[in-house]
């Protein structure tokens, strides 16, 4: 590091194309001193041979060469799109440099220049390549989910502020963050929030749904590949770890990766280096990893589906997102927030929630959490034609035939508070058994599975309950 500029070029391969032997050797010596692997050539023909035989991260390309114009390599597509090109031109050759940029060059240098400027130029070029790869990935990514901090998440917000304070102290080598929570609770949105409010907000955030990566492509997508690494690898390709260099890599459902890939992720986090598929050289990456999962990682470790050493490395900053059903009145605040967003998105007039609609939103259990709430609100906007939203379509919002509807003060209601006179736990347990039997059609074995108890427990509870005994079937 010199004057705040990263000077190391370790792991990068550079082709220098220039017919001035002294300048070529001087540039090569300077780049090699910074850790780069350098090949020097003096003609277009030699450059074509080098590019066909070797992979390069960057090409320093002179415009005027003995056997032609350096721009011909760009015009003909000889230089792969995965290779960054920096053009070198003499005084007065800016017009050629502009054309080179139009053809895909990332930057240009006007001769004479000091080799000491190369690290800065290479860093700019590398950032341009990262931005291109990040944009490519963003086009494939899903739209950003919505998230809202309510009063019920105040302890979580305080925890996040502590993480951000630690980030500001550290600045570099930011430790990983592990986000846990049920599907749809907003883990992706929380990862984006951490990135936007952290010291790397100006750098890219790359999001990867690991469960959606085919096993055969996962390594190439994360770590990149060299040309010829597999049948369709016609060109080298930067992986998402490289694309996230200097920023954040969000790995959603990380346990979906194979044990071998989990090991490579661990190595990348600890050593800050990766190796492309089919490659031999190590590439330095400075990435803040945020991992997320809806699974119990301790159980995944016990079952052999997740590496224990990776869990220990990720578990420094753990953030747990509570399910929507545990967020109390914040469900209604979140619904209002999402409803405003949806009305603006669909260019619809603002719709109001009726008292009955609010009750239904509050009483529903939301197994799909925030994602399901957003979908139900959108469904209401589309199918309810009145100026208000009642959510009569909401699953489970009305009593089914033969089912007892929860009444005010019933412990089945989300806002229930224990009465001063006390609560009869035995009656509640018997009622749960009856509800499970009703849902399972009177099948005692299925009811036991729903409640997470043994069939003997159901029989015991029914022994003193003649009504329940009459309804129960002995079907397996």
pLDDT in tens, the chain (476 residues): 444 445 677 778 899 999 999 999 999 999 998 888 899 999 999 999 998 888 888 999 998 899 998 999 988 888 887 788 999 887 666 677 788 888 888 888 888 888 888 888 887 777 666 655 555 554 444 334 345 556 788 888 889 999 999 998 887 789 999 999 999 898 998 999 899 889 998 888 999 999 988 888 899 999 988 887 787 777 778 889 998 998 999 999 999 999 999 999 999 999 999 999 888 888 999 999 999 999 999 999 999 999 999 999 999 899 999 898 888 888 998 898 889 888 888 878 888 899 888 988 988 888 889 889 988 999 888 888 788 898 877 755 444 433 444 444 556 655 566 776 677 787 778 888 888 887 777 778 888 888 888 888 887 777 655 444 444 444 44
According to CATH, the topology of domain 323-418 is Helicase, Ruva Protein; domain 3 (1.10.8)
Cβ neighbors of 227 (< 8 A, separation 6 or more) are: 55, 80, 233, 234, 235, 236, 278
Domains 13-127 and 153-321 share a fold: yes
Give the integer Cα–Cα distance in Å for 223 and 261.
10
Beta bridge pairs of residue 107: 86
- At 129, give phi and psi (nearest 5°): -65, -40
Specify the fold of 13-127.
Rossmann fold (3.40.50)
Burial class (CB in 10 A: 0-12, 13-18, 19+), 80: middle
| CA angle at 381 for the pair 380 and 383, rounded to the nearest 5° | 65
Architecture of domain 425-471: Orthogonal Bundle (1.10)
Cα separations in angstroms, 245 against 12, 106, 230: 14, 17, 25
Contact 250, 290 (CB under 8 A): yes
Could you state, in order of their start, the residue ranges of all structural domains in the chain?
A: 13-127, 153-321, 323-418, 425-471
What is residue 173's predicted lDDT score, i.e. its pLDDT?
84
Return the SS3 of 318. Answer: strand
- What is 153-321's CATH topology? Rossmann fold (3.40.50)
| Cα atoms in the Cβ-side hemisphere of radius 13 Å centred on 200 | 26
CA–CA separation, 240 and 204 (whole Å): 11
Rounded-to-integer distance, Cα 247 and Cα 245, Å: 5
What does each C-alpha distance from 194 to 83, 164, 198 come to in angstroms?
A: 32, 8, 6
Q: How far is CA 179 from CA 147, 162, 175, 183, 194, in A?
A: 14, 15, 13, 12, 11
């Amino acid at each position: 590091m010199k004057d705040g500029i990263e000077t190391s070029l370790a792991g990068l391969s550079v082709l220098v194309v220039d017919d001035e032997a002294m300048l070529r050797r001087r540039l090569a010596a300077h780049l090699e001193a910074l850790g780069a692997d350098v090949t020097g050539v003096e003609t277009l023909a030699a450059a074509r041979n080098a590019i066909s035989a070797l992979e390069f991260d960057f090409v320093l390309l002179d415009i005027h060469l003995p056997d032609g114009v350096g721009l011909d390599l760009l015009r003909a597509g000889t230089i792969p799109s995965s290779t960054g090109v920096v053009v070198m031109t003499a005084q007065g050759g800016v017009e050629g440099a502009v054309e080179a940029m139009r053809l895909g060059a990332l930057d240009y240098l006007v001769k004479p220049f000091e080799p000491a400027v190369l690290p800065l130029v290479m860093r700019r070029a590398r950032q341009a390549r990262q931005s291109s790869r990040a944009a490519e990935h963003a086009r494939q990514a899903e739209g950003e989910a919505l998230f809202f901090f309510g009063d019920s998440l105040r302890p979580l917000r305080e925890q996040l502020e502590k993480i951000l304070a630690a980030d500001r102290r550290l600045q570099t080598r930011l430790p990983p963050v592990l986000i846990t929570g049920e599907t749809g609770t907003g883990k992706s949105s929380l990862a984006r929030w951490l990135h936007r409010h952290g010291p790397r907000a100006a750098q890219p955030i790359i999001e990867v749904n690991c469960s959606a990566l085919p096993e055969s492509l996962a390594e190439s997508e994360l770590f990149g590949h060299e040309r010829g690494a597999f049948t369709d690898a016609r060109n080298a390709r930067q992986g998402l770890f490289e694309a996230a260099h200097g920023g954040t890599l969000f790995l959603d459902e990380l346990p979906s990766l194979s044990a071998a890939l989990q090991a490579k992720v661990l190595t990348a986090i600890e050593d800050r280096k990766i190796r492309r598929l089919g490659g031999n050289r190590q590439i330095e990456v400075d990435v803040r990893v945020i991992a997320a999962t809806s699974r119990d990682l301790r159980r995944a470790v016990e079952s052999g589906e997740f590496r224990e050493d990776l869990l220990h490395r990720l578990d420094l900053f753990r953030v747990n997102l509570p399910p929507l059903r545990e967020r109390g009145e914040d469900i209604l605040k979140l619904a209002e927030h999402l409803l405003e967003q949806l009305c603006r998105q669909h260019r619809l007039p603002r719709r109001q929630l009726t008292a009955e609609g609010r009750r239904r939103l509050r009483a529903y259990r939301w197994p799909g959490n925030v994602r399901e709430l957003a979908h139900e609100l959108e469904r209401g906007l589309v199918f309810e034609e009145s100026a208000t939203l009642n959510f009569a379509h909401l699953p489970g919002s009305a009593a089914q035939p033969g089912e007892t509807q929860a009444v005010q003060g019933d412990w089945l209601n989300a806002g229930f508070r224990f009465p001063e006179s006390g609560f009869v736990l035995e009656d509640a347990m018997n009622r749960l058994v009856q509800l499970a039997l009703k849902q399972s059609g009177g099948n005692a074995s299925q009811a036991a599975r729903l409640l997470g108890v043994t069939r003997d427990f159901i029989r015991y509870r029914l022994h003193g309950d003649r009504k329940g005994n009459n309804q129960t079937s002995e079907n397996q």
